[in-house]
Structure 1
Amino acid sequence: MRIIVIFKFFLYLFSLFIAFGNFFIFLIVFLMLNTPIIRKSIFGRLPTDSKELRKRNVIKYRETFEYLPGLLLDIFYPSSLESMSRTQSIKGVVLFAHGGGWISGYRRQPNNISWYRYLVSKGFIVATIDYERGYKAGIEKLIAELLQAVVFLENHLANKHGINEKVSLMGLSAGGHLALLAASRIPEKVKNVVAYYSPCDLLDIWTSTSIFARLAAATTLKRLPTRAKDMYERYSPINNITKNYPPTLLVHGLKDSVVPYISSVKMFKRLREKGLIAKLLLHPKGNHGFEFVLRDLKTVDIIEKTAQFLEGKLW
């Protein structure tokens, strides 16, 4: 009971902070940067992101658009725009949603760019978006923005470059949560979906030791689970699996202190129970954002298998 009172107090404070705009953003950034594992992941990079790869500047071929008023979308190509007619060399099209607890994050964060550089070097077209903050927009609008980005990307690639491929959805943490939910809305349009350390059951966040995760969820859903359990269930991917849900890869670290790994395990089991294609990769030493921190062979193997899965290869 005392915990509920404390969280109510924090939510009331958050409501006040929203009125002060910049101060609220400062508070969120301050909280994140003072969580060591989150700070390390934001400024980290993949172990595959070698000095040689960065020197090659493989993401220099880029287009930027305003896919919705005030929201930007980048498209990174594996070769110059002049040679885009050679579509046979493209491994796939990936639409990437950044993490940040729905209330923070940026499409061009160093860790995100590390993923774009890796995937583009492997032959993928990678698109990435900014979406509105959850404390302002709410969860339904964030999903709608990702869906709109899919439509925009499909139309642009088809009309300008003659590329007509299904889009793969990929996201980290909250971005993975949005990708999983978006895939349930338009399963016929999605080639496959990849979610790294994502809350597949939003109620699992409330078993986490992360204050940031709990505040982010409550702020985005505008409710505490004790008052609106049905809303948390409604926006949990495990409760939104359609009969034609696309092939899904779930990745999680067993040491995750922000989103419990059991969330991905439950999603994996639910997908398999329904006879759907699902893969689960667990890192025994991984915390939240582990692929940007750990440099071991297990991490490299997970990253490489992710690229293979996005290409459509089932290992």
Structure 2
Amino acid sequence: MDEKPAGSFFRKMERVARITRLILLLKGILILFSLFLAFSNFLLFFIVTLILNIPLIRKSILGRLPTDTKELRKSNILNCNETFEYAPNLYLDVFYPPPLKSMKKTENIKGIVLFAHGGGWISGYRRQPNNISWYRYLVSKGFVVATIDYERGYKAGIEKLIEELLEAIDFLESYTTKRFGLNQKVSLMGLSAGGHLALLAASRVPEKIKNVVAYYSPCDLLDIWSSASIFARFAAATTLKRLPNRAKDVYERYSPINNITENYPPTLLVHGLKDSVVPYISSVKMFKRLREKGLVAKLLIHSKGDHGFEFVLRDQKTIDIIQKTASFLEGKLW
């Protein structure tokens, strides 16, 4: 082969290789830039959504129950507590009445409550002041209260959140038996998205659950799309990874109203008539569906209540609802 044509051929091949590498580099830069823009848009939308929901976030994080008196807060009733890693990088706090510290008076324990915080599946944490207000009240009434963190919906997806709550149920059942000798079923309680998870978890293991309480929870996920709350719609779409017009079946599959078993545990639903985040009709539909199936169900409606109303309103109606919640968790159906 002639050296001159051969040299020309290899030089052409080198130019082609350089151009190819340049094209690949430009494509890589464009992909990274696109990802950056997508993340920036997501972050910007998330920040705007949070700003628009500042009043809701403020009362959710900083609010407290009207029954959470100054005397109760000073009593240090929550000093008896333990923390465990119930799953990798996920933690569970257990608060219990002081008599249990010395393993005495276990017969006075009203029940074991596993509490799931709210926050639209994508925010919130187990030690928010509003959540602690609930723990303090329930412990003062004689309940053992456990509370968990669960992974964010935008990262984990809805199924993983349910599985984490189921893991926590098993952990708590084992812990309270071994630690205190309490052979009682676990009650589930949740606020908003936490209530939604509690209702779904109860449908998976109804035989393990004493009863379930859900405050202003989306029992039919499609109801969220009639809400005025941008945050609620954003949280649902982010957690389910789909919009309802393209995956209605997914929203139906993870709606508690479509997951009621024959042995579903006694259920208390609480909602405010003026809820601007989750329409109150969602709890009404769940209540009707439970009753149609001949199951034990109670519905408490506050005529002036918005989302998270028990942390804002100080009226007698709110206090009555809170007290009835404790009675229901104890097993009294009033």
TM-score (norm 2): 0.86
Q: Against the structure 1 CA distance between its residues 251 and 14, is the aligned structure 2 distance closer, same or farther, given a 3 Å change threshold?
A: farther
Partner of 1:53, secondary structure, is helix
**Counterpart selection for 2:291 from 265, 269, 272:** 272
**Percent of aligned pairs sharing the same letter:** 79
Q: Which has the higher contact order (CA 8 A, sep 6+)?
A: 1
Aligned amino acid, residue 39 of structure 2: F
Residue 179 of structure 1 pairs with residue 198 of structure 2: yes
Partner of 2:243: 224
Q: Is the Cα–Cα contact under 8 Å of residues 100 and 106 in structure 2 kept in the other structure?
A: no
1:61 equivalenced with 2:80 (yes/no): yes
Pair 1:261 & 2:280 matched: yes
Alpha-carbon distance in structure 1 between the residues aligned to 2:303 and 2:35? 37
Distance 1:168 1:224 in 2: 32
**Which residue type is aligned with residue 237 of structure 1?**
P
Counterpart in 1 of 2:39? 17
TM-score by length of 1: 0.91
In structure 2, relative to structure 1, the CA distance for the partners of 1:308 and 1:172 (3 Å cut) is: same
Equivalent in the alignment of 1:283: 302
* Cα 1:122–1:32 shift into 2, 3 Å: farther
Report the alpha carbon displacement of residue 36 of structure 1 after superposing the two structures with TM.
Answer: 1.2
Gaps of 5+ in 2: 1-33
Contact 1:28 1:104 in 2 (8 A): no
1:135 alignment partner AA: Y
Does the CA-based 8 Å contact 2:53-2:231 persist in structure 1?
A: no
Residue 277 of structure 2: SS of its match in structure 1? coil
1:82-111 CA-to-partner distances (Å, cap 9, x unmatched) read 323421010000000000000000000000
Q: CA deviation at 1:17?
A: 3.0
Residue type matched to 1:31 in 2?
A: L
- Is residue 157 from structure 1 mapped to residue 176 from structure 2 by the alignment? yes
Q: Which has the larger radius of gyration?
A: 2
The alignment status of 1:301 with 2:283, answered yes or no, reads no
Equivalent residue, structure 1, for 2:217: 198
- Cα distance in structure 1, aligned partners of 2:46 and 2:262: 42
| Structure-2 change in CA distance of 1:290 and 1:183 (3 Å) | same
Q: How much has 1:81 moved relative to structure 2?
A: 4.6
In the alignment, is the contact (CA less than 8 A) between 2:49 and 2:231 conserved in 1? no
Match of 1:233 in 2: 252
User: Are residues 1:188 and 2:207 paired?
Assistant: yes
Return the offset for 1:314: 0.5
Number of equivalenced pairs: 301
Residue 181 of structure 1 aligns to which amino acid in structure 2? Answer: L
Which digits, 9 at most, give the CA deviation of each residue in 1:45-77, with x for residues without a partner?
A: 000000000000101100000000100000000
Post-superposition Cα deviations, 1:86-140, rounded to whole Å, max 9, x if no partner, equal: 2101000000000000000000000000000000000000000000000000000
Determine the C-alpha separation between the residues in 1 that align with 2:308 and 2:82. Answer: 27
Q: Matches of 1:13 and 1:45 in 2, distance apart?
A: 41
Q: Give the aligned partner of residue 124 of structure 2.
A: 105
1:43 aligns with 2:62: yes
Query: 1:54–1:239: structure 2 CA closer, same or farther, 3 Å change rule?
Result: same
* 2:333 alignment counterpart: 314
Identify if the C-alpha distance between structure 1 residues 28 and 85 changes in structure 2 by more than 3 Å, giving closer, same or farther.
farther
Residue 147 of structure 2, aligned match among 98, 106, 128: 128
Shift of 1:267: 0.1
Deviation at 1:29, TM superposition (A): 9.4
Distance 1:221 1:136 in 2: 10
Secondary structure of the structure 2 residue equivalent to 1:59:
helix
**Which amino acid in structure 2 is aligned with residue 92 of structure 1?**
G
In the TM superposition, what whole-angstrom CA distance separates every residue of 1:131-150 from its partner, at most 9, and x where no partner exists?
A: 00000000000000000000
CA distance in 2, matches of 1:232, 1:170: 22
User: Which has the larger helix fraction?
Assistant: 2
> In structure 2, what is the Cα distance between the partners aligned to 1:127 and 1:78?
12
Q: Cα 1:28–1:265, aligned 2, differ >3 Å: closer, same or farther?
A: farther
Asked if the contact 1:38/1:288 (under 8 Å) is kept, the reply is no
Computed over aligned residues only, the root mean square deviation of the Cα atoms, in angstroms, reads 2.1
Query: Aligned residue for 1:8?
Result: none
Deviation of 1:41 (Å): 2.8
Amino acid at match of 1:55: K
What is the CA-CA distance between 1:35 and the residue it aligns to?
A: 3.3
Does residue 31 (structure 1) correspond to residue 53 (structure 2)? The answer is: no
Q: Once the 2 structures are TM-superposed, how far is the Cα of residue 30 of structure 1 from its aligned partner? A: 6.7
